[in-house]
Amino acid sequence: MKRIVAIVIVGLVLAGLGLAAQQGFTMRGRLGATDQEVQEGYFAIDSQTMIVVKPGSDFHRYLRSKIGQRVRLSIEPETGSE
């Protein structure tokens, strides 16, 4: 009986992860980076995530202006894309 319950729970968790992957992902937190990290294009969102962007790009300039502020990063599939 315990195995069946465990299998059902694992199945529900995996189904939930699959559904979340199809809909997208959002993370909120404080954006941070040292001077050297900014030059190299590394930015941290809290202590959970590190993102890397191309130095000198528009997105790099935008993130550099938001250091120390709370941000929300969303990744979603584009509709109609393959």
- pLDDT at residue 8 in the model: 55
- pLDDT value at residue 80: 73
pLDDT (tens digit per residue) in 33-82: 999 999 999 999 988 889 999 999 999 999 999 999 999 988 888 877 56
H or E element at residue 26:
strand 25-32
Considering Cα of 49, then 63, then 61, then 80, what sign does the dihedral take?
A: positive
pLDDT band at residue 15 under the 50/70/90 scheme: low
List the domain boundaries for the chain: 2-75
What is the H or E stretch that residue 64 is in?
Answer: helix 58-65
How many CB atoms sit inside 10 A of residue 43's CB? 23
The pLDDT of residue 77 is 81
Does the model's pTM come out above 0.85? no
